[in-house]
Amino acid sequence: MATEQESGDDGRPAELDSLELAPDEGWNALYVDGDWRPQGDREDLDVVDPTARDAVGTVPAGTEEDVDEAYAVADAAQPEWAEVAPEERAAVVASARELVETYHEDFARLFAVECGGSRLKAEIELDLTKGTMAVAEDLADSFETEEREAIVDGKRNLLFREPTGVIGVISPWNFPLYLSMRAVAPAIALGNSVVLKPSTHTSLVGGLALARLFDEAGLPEGVLNVVTGRGSDIGEAVAGHSTPSVISFTGSTEVGREVGAVAAEQLSLPALELGGNNAHIVTAEADLDRAIDGGVFGSFTHQGQECISINRHIVHESHYDEYVERLAERAESLPVGDPRGDDEVLVGPVQNESQYESIVDLLEQSVEQGARIEAGGDHYDWFVEPTVLSNVDNDMPVAEEEHFGPIAPVIPYEDEQEAIAMANDTEYGLSGSVHCEDVERALDIARRLETGMVHVNDQPLNDDPGVAFGGVGASGIGRYNAEWIMEEFTETRWVSVQDEPREYPY
């Protein structure tokens, strides 16, 4: 499956050497106040290619002092940026969006080398990135004054929206460019400044590449600052700093709880998009072809490494055997291998060793408890084959926990109430899907699922920059995208005007 890669003179893979996207100073730098700050005496962090399981470069391990400086710079730059005309702010974001297209192939290579992502994954992420930037451009001019009726005679109530100030962003490794950009682009368009800490595993495509885009697009110095580093070293400094008004975090629920707690201590608003345990419900009245098509895409795209991927297939007993058999056939047909030079590969390696070990552990525990492997099951060198499991209970580890891997546990049910109860039997509430040819009935089931998002006759792996995105329960706080992100990234001020003399009671 994994293949050897061409190496440079130093023995390391040479995949990043010819990227036009890289800054002139190279990737081994922080981006603060419009400057590419070299590593200096900081530690270095390896940029690891998950296919080769080897370093392809390094980035600096930022320090708490770097975080302090980045926030100070962002705080100083924000007031002037907020005074820039909305159309000029939108133009900078638009220029950066055009550069995403200019560097399309560079990004595709970065996704393969740094994320283990297939060409399909790259195209999906690039489309979402450009989409969220286009929506952000439209938000730049969303500051119209609203007038509301007053209960006091002769008074006018005026409501103004203003940028919230400085926004801290901590982004994940699975869709790093998009999940960074969906916070960074609207924040900048709305007149805020940003300090971005990308995941340690994807510091390039999730952080420094964004800095390059906005640097080249002409963003003023200090409005975007990128500090790479270990979450264990600087994560709390970013989330618990006294400067930001908002902390945007995407990642695991466990870490999200910690981020939200330290942010709240500083009275920073936590905007948290966390884990999921998403159910794909296939009713007795489902179109089985459509349900299986959705099941394959929702379980195995980017190795199942999405918070909105299918974690459990909950299938009516009348379809169960056929569904398992056909899903297993489809899983076995998926091209698995090295995504770095083969655009036909659909399933690459798991992104990092810790996640690989977690997936394998959940799989092995579940098999020991009676789950039966119908397809796949093999795992080695950070690769996990697309795996279909039957004879699964809802409380087995692979179903109870967010496995975040290319595993499809299939669970039978007898009636609609049981399916809904099983789907809701989790602390998470992010996404889900329901297949039923009676759309009204499907909508009724969807409304009874305790999730922020549900997709009828589709699968849970959906995002759209024009629609509210977010979960309930342990899946997060707040909503991303379009006008909903404005609630997070702007503040509303009430100013009243007493046009006529007011009579007071004393």
What are the backbone angles phi and psi of residue 472, rounded to the nearest 5°? -125, 170
Q: Residue 307 catalytic?
A: yes
Contact predicate 357/385, CB 8 Å: no
Measuring CA to CA, which residue among 417, 427, 441 is closest to residue 474?
427
Residue 115 among the catalytic residues: no
- Residue 160, CA atoms < 13 Å, CB-side half-sphere: 8
Contact 422, 314 (CB under 8 A): yes
Instruction: For residue 396, give every residue at least 6 positions away whose Cβ sits within 8 Å of its Cβ, in sequence order, or none.
Output: 365, 366, 369, 370, 371, 409
Out of 15, 115, 137, 307, the active site residue is 307
What angle in degrees, to the nearest 10, is found between the helix axes of 119-139 and 86-102? 170
Give the angle 219-250-180 at the CA atoms, nearest 5°. 20
Longest Cα pair distance anywhere in the chain, in angstroms?
87
Helices (H), strands (E): how many in the chain? Answer: 15, 24
- Cα radius of gyration rounded to whole Å, the chain: 24
Triad 124, 111, 198: Cα angle to 5°: 100
Of the residues 114, 125, 137, 273, only one is catalytic, namely: 273
Which tokens go with 347? 């399933």
Burial call 64-99: b when 16+ CB within 10 Å, e when fewer: eebbebbbbbbbebbeebbeeebeebbbbbbbbbeb
**Rounded-to-integer distance, Cα 67 and Cα 57, Å:** 22
**Pair of tokens at residue 349:** 């390696």
- Cα dihedral 320, 324, 309, 307 in deg (nearest 10): 80
Active site members: 273, 307
